[in-house]
């Protein structure tokens, strides 16, 4: 029952992220669990009907009986401990003796056919004894199904609220690092746990956000929306942008021009493809190296400076001229940050459909060429590695 429950959680979360269902509701988990359980039961029946060779069939049936016998032994132990005082002494002793015989036969199960027969016989005998004396306390099949579904839903909600959550990239503000249709996982506990549906943090956090990290946060202008951007400034920093050169505390952030690049963005419900010429750069902030794109920046054009306040971070999109970020609405409070982006687990968008080359890509790893630019990006990486630390 555990595998159908786990499969139901995974498939419902996947369908939710892909947009095939509008929000994961309990009945979605129930329907998925019922479907997987029917498939599992059908597979078991086919095995019992002899669809496998006889030797493998016997082994499979025996393994199933051993699993069920272990489950029955745990159930009987729990029921005797909880309801044994309601039984006659003779019935209680009979149950305990049969339970002991089943445990003994399970320990001896590898000693040949006789041991296997002993397991089957004691298993059936204990099942009859439990049904005879403790039927009032046994769980019905529907109750077991309901509990399995409930546990699966609670585990999924807990993981989503406090550990890892899946997000879908809806816009091109983080191109070329993230593209429209990328599905990512986000680490939600590294900066501290956040109460669901609030911006209140509690408990200990592992560390503070760092320059260069990609974070998901609650948009300060509309707390019903989530944004994803890159941190370029932390508390106390002064941020300025001059053309394509980013400055932090009046020092230029190390960057290197890769060359011309075509921005390909997918916009609107009709998934219209927009193309725009741009310049691609490798930028290094702190311990992180990443790609940025500038489509309309002029060398003498200045923006800022902006001063990052207490308990806040300054964020920008990697698609610098096509990003609605802290340059327009200010720094992000630390309490608004939901977590750090980890990796792309699914990517589907644009005219090409599924982007297989993006699956499993780490978001804060070394820059990955968007296509045909491996050499220039490698040259830029070597150039940045060779520069003195002071110039970075």
Is the domain of 282 the same as that of 364?
yes
- Across residues 295-323, what is the average pLDDT? 93
Quickly list DSSP for 7-59: HHHHHHHHHHHHTSSSS--HHHHHHHHHHHHHHHHHHHHHHHTT-S-HHHHHH
Of 105, 127, 142, the last residue of a domain is: 142
Is the domain of 99 the same as that of 38?
yes
In tens, the pLDDT along 223-279 reads 889 999 999 999 999 999 999 999 999 999 999 999 999 888 877 666 677 889 999
Is the domain of 123 the same as that of 215?
no
Q: Tokens 């941020």 correspond to what residue?
A: 239
> CB-based burial of residue 74 (10 Å sphere; 0-12 exposed, 13-18 middle, 19+ buried)?
exposed
Q: What are 267's two structure tokens?
A: 């916009």
Active site residue 173: yes
Give the domain range for residue 6: 2-142
pLDDT of 389 above 50: no
Is the domain of 181 the same as that of 282?
yes
The pLDDT of residue 287: 87
Is the domain of 130 the same as that of 198?
no
The reply to whether 43 falls in a domain is: yes
pTM of the predicted protein model: 0.68
Is the domain of 208 the same as that of 251?
yes
The reply to whether 12 falls in a domain is: yes
H/E segment holding residue 347: strand 337-347
The reply to whether 156 falls in a domain is: no
In tens, the pLDDT along 355-386 reads 888 888 899 888 888 877 888 999 999 988 87
The reply to whether 150 falls in a domain is: no
Is the domain of 114 the same as that of 246?
no
Choosing from 173, 285, 326, 347, the catalytic residue is 173
In tens, the pLDDT along 136-168 reads 777 666 666 677 777 777 777 777 777 888 888
The reply to whether 215 falls in a domain is: yes
Is the domain of 354 the same as that of 234?
yes
The reply to whether 160 falls in a domain is: no
Is the domain of 202 the same as that of 81?
no
Choosing from 129, 188, 229, 338, the catalytic residue is 229
The reply to whether 158 falls in a domain is: no
User: What is the DSSP pairing of strand 332-333 with strand 182-187?
Assistant: unpaired
Is the domain of 201 the same as that of 69?
no
Number of domain units in the chain: 2
Give the CATH number of the domain where residue 237 resides: 2.10.109.10
The reply to whether 281 falls in a domain is: yes
Report d(CA 274, CA 262) in Å as an integer: 10
Is the domain of 203 the same as that of 127?
no
Active site residue 229: yes
The pLDDT of residue 63: 80
Under a CB-based contact definition with an 8 Å cutoff, are residues 216 and 187 in contact?
no
């Amino acid at each position: 029952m555990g595998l159908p429950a786990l499969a139901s959680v995974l498939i419902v979360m996947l369908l939710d992220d892909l947009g095939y269902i509008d929000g994961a509701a309990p009945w979605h988990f129930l329907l998925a669990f019922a479907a997987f359980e029917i498939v599992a039961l059908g597979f078991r029946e086919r095995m019992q009907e002899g669809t496998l060779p006889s030797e493998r069939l016997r082994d499979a049936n025996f393994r199933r009986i051993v699993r069920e016998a272990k489950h029955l032994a745990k159930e009987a132990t729990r029921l005797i401990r909880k309801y044994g005082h309601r039984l006659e002494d003779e019935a209680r002793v009979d149950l305990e003796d049969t339970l002991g015989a089943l445990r003994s036969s399970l320990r001896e199960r590898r000693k040949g056919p006789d041991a296997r027969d002993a397991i089957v016989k004691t298993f059936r005998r204990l099942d009859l004894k439990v049904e005879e004396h403790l039927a009032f306390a046994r769980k019905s099949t529907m109750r077991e199904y309901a509990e399995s579904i409930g546990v699966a839903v609670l585990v999924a909600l807990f993981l989503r609220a406090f550990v890892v959550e899946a997000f879908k990239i809806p816009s091109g503000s983080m191109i070329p690092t993230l593209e429209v249709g990328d599905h990512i996982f986000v680490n939600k506990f590294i900066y501290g746990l956040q109460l669901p549906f609030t911006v209140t943090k509690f408990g200990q956090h592992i560390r503070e956000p760092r320059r260069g990290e990609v974070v998901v946060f609650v948009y300060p202008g509309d707390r019903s929306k989530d944004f994803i951007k890159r941190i370029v400034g932390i508390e106390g920093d002064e941020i300025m942008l001059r053309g394509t050169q980013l400055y932090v505390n009046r020092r230029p952030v190390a960057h290197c021009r890769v060359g011309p690049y075509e921005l390909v963005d997918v916009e609107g419900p009709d998934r219209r493809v927009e193309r725009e010429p741009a310049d691609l750069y490798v930028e290094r902030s702190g311990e992180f190296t990443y790609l940025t794109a500038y489509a309309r920046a002029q060398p003498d054009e200045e923006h800022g400076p902006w001063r990052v306040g207490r308990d806040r971070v300054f964020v920008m999109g990697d698609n610098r001229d096509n990003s609605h970020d802290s340059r327009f609405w200010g720094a992000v409070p630390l309490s608004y940050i939901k977590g750090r982006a980890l990796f792309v687990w699914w990517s589907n968008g644009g005219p090409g459909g599924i982007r297989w080359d993006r699956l499993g890509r780490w978001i804060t790893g070394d820059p990955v060429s968007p296509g045909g630019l491996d050499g220039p990006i490698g040259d830029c990486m070597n150039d940045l590695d060779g520069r003195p630390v002071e110039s970075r």
